[in-house]
Amino acid sequence: MKRITEEDFKSFEKRKRANFINCLSGFKSINLIGTRDAKGSTNLCIISSAFHLGSDPALIGFIMRPDTVPRHTLDNIRKTGFCTFNHVGHSFYKEAHQTSARYPKEESEFSACQLTEESLDQFHAPFVKESELRLALKLVREVPISENGTYLMIMSVQDVYLNDEILKEDGSLELDQIATMCLSGLDTYHLPKKISRLSYAKADKPVQEID
Amino acid sequence: MKRITEEDFKSFEKRKRANFINCLSGFKSINLIGTRDAKGSTNLCIISSAFHLGSDPALIGFIMRPDTVPRHTLDNIRKTGFCTFNHVGHSFYKEAHQTSARYPKEESEFSACQLTEESLDQFHAPFVKESELRLALKLVREVPISENGTYLMIMSVQDVYLNDEILKEDGSLELDQIATMCLSGLDTYHLPKKISRLSYAKADKPVQEID
């Protein structure tokens, strides 16, 4: 095993360092965040920092950096209190990646990146029609992370829209059936292949494949 | 698309609800956290809530629930300030899952789950020898999440140990080469297959596959 110390990676050139550190936590979820400003203009950006925060209440967290492209998204969530999450599938991941480009505020990433805006049930923020798993989310609280000037956004799940063939009797979702992708680092897209589902672990017996 | 409202999933039976909500954010990273208490006893637990928090300074965040199995881990991190992260590879994911069982404090999950403890460079917490990507982490701060009684643990990256064949010139890591897995929901293990690496997105040109 090669050892790379903090001193080593601090001396990496900026882009190399970002590539390296972004790979360390493992594979990352990918979601498109849809928002709408007070005037009705829509905004869309890709994020890879979303994580499960809790089931009861149903909470999802993600990190926003105010100094980068998603600042329009951050403004819209702060002003309106709402956003959508849209899983990124294999059939439109290049369009999804393109939303990370720096577009002027007056241009919606939906049209610039050939993705289709959809309104559902009067929810304030727009959904991505191409996505087969979409969430309507409401801002609960933002937590400033003073260490690097980012914000943890705590969102509660309001509605879930899905292709109901992926919903199993026990509540779990077969994400591989809708080709939800994941990311390594900043730009390397992967398609997860299911290996197996394991039984609830107990100290007195070995785990078993249950599916 | 089927709509599942907050009212719908609030009425799901507890386990079904946990399965469902845990799938919503997308695929999750998987890491084994290694810790050591003040007396020298080791502890190991699997988590799926780790996320990239920033590259400069190099920070990783994860969520701990004090009411579940990892409470020994939480105690150890609080008391010593250190832990390790160890990527979970395909060859030992069942042993990794088994660490989520409830073992008595005096029994180390390393021996109970047939995983090999390794000390490296006098770092306080133990590493998992089977893992091909391991991090030495130091506690920066814990942030209480009052909404559900969990804690966001902010950790800084001290050292990285890896099989240096996966480290590319530009700093990115080929996680598929070491069979790092990812998780859907609570218990469904996936192996990500690389599809492509995309160019840095710019507003005036389409993204391209660069690798």
Burial of B196 (0-12, 13-18, 19+ CB in 10 A): middle
**Using the beta-carbon criterion (under 8 Å), do B148 and A54 form an inter-chain contact?**
yes
> Mean pLDDT throughout B33-62?
97
In the prediction, which pLDDT does A184 show? 98
In the prediction, which pLDDT does B198 show? 97
Tokens of B188: 């469904």
Whole-model pTM?
0.97
> Mean pLDDT throughout A15-41?
97
What is the nearest CA distance from B39 to chain A, expressed in angstroms?
23
In the prediction, which pLDDT does B67 show? 76
> Mean pLDDT throughout A6-16?
98
Would you list the DSSP string of chain A? Answer: -EEEEHHHHHTS-HHHHHHHHHHTT--EE-EEEEEE-TTS-EEEEEES--EEEEETTEEEEEEE-TTSTTHHHHHHHHHHSEEEEEEPBGGGHHHHHHTTS---TTS-HHHHTT--EE--TT-SSPEETT-SEEEEEEEEEEEEETTTTEEEEEEEEEEEEE-GGGB-TTS-B-GGGGTB-EEETTTEEEEEEEEEEBPPPBTTB---B--
Q: Please tell me if residue B196 touches chain A, with a CB cutoff of 8 Å.
A: yes
Q: Which residue of A has its CA nearest to B102?
A: A203
In the prediction, which pLDDT does B71 show? 84
Average pLDDT of chain A to the nearest whole number: 96
CA distances from A112 to A35, A86, A117, A200, B202 (A): 15, 17, 12, 45, 11
Residue B13 burial (CB count, 10 A):
10
In the prediction, which pLDDT does B22 show? 98
Residue B56 has pLDDT above 80, yes or no: yes
In the prediction, which pLDDT does B30 show? 98
**Model pLDDT for residues A105-160, shown as the tens digit of each residue:** 889 999 999 999 999 999 999 999 999 999 999 999 999 999 999 999 999 999 99
A 71-100 → B contacts, CB under 8 A: 85, 87, 90, 93-94, 97-100
| Residue among B37, B116, B132, B123 nearest B84 (CA) | B123
- Single-letter amino acid, residue A90: H
What is the nearest CA distance from B35 to chain A, expressed in angstroms?
17
Q: What is the ipTM of this complex?
A: 0.97
Residue with tokens 């993705």: A115
In the prediction, which pLDDT does A66 show? 81
Q: Please tell me if residue A9 touches chain B, with a CB cutoff of 8 Å.
A: yes
Distance CA B179, CA B169 (A): 20
**Model pLDDT for residues A63-74, shown as the tens digit of each residue:** 998 877 678 999
**Model pLDDT for residues B113-129, shown as the tens digit of each residue:** 999 999 999 999 999 99
Tokens of A57: 């209440």
Distance CA A139, CA A207 (A): 38
Q: Which residue of B has its CA nearest to A33?
A: B25
In the prediction, which pLDDT does B66 show? 81
The confidence band for B24, taking pLDDT boundaries of 50, 70 and 90, is very high
**Using the beta-carbon criterion (under 8 Å), do A192 and B188 form an inter-chain contact?**
no
Residue A28 has pLDDT above 90, yes or no: yes
Cis peptide before B66 (omega within 30 of 0): no
**Model pLDDT for residues B181-211, shown as the tens digit of each residue:** 999 999 999 999 999 999 999 999 999 999 8
All residues of chain B having their beta carbon less than 8 Å from the beta carbon of residue A154 are 145, 147
**Model pLDDT for residues B74-115, shown as the tens digit of each residue:** 999 999 999 999 999 999 999 999 999 999 888 999 999 999
In the prediction, which pLDDT does B211 show? 87
**Using the beta-carbon criterion (under 8 Å), do B193 and A197 form an inter-chain contact?**
no
Q: Where does chain B have alpha helices with state H? A: 6-10, 14-23, 71-80, 93-98, 109-112
Residue A10 has pLDDT above 90, yes or no: yes
Of A122-126, A177-181, B68-72, B138-142, the range with the lowest mean pLDDT is B68-72
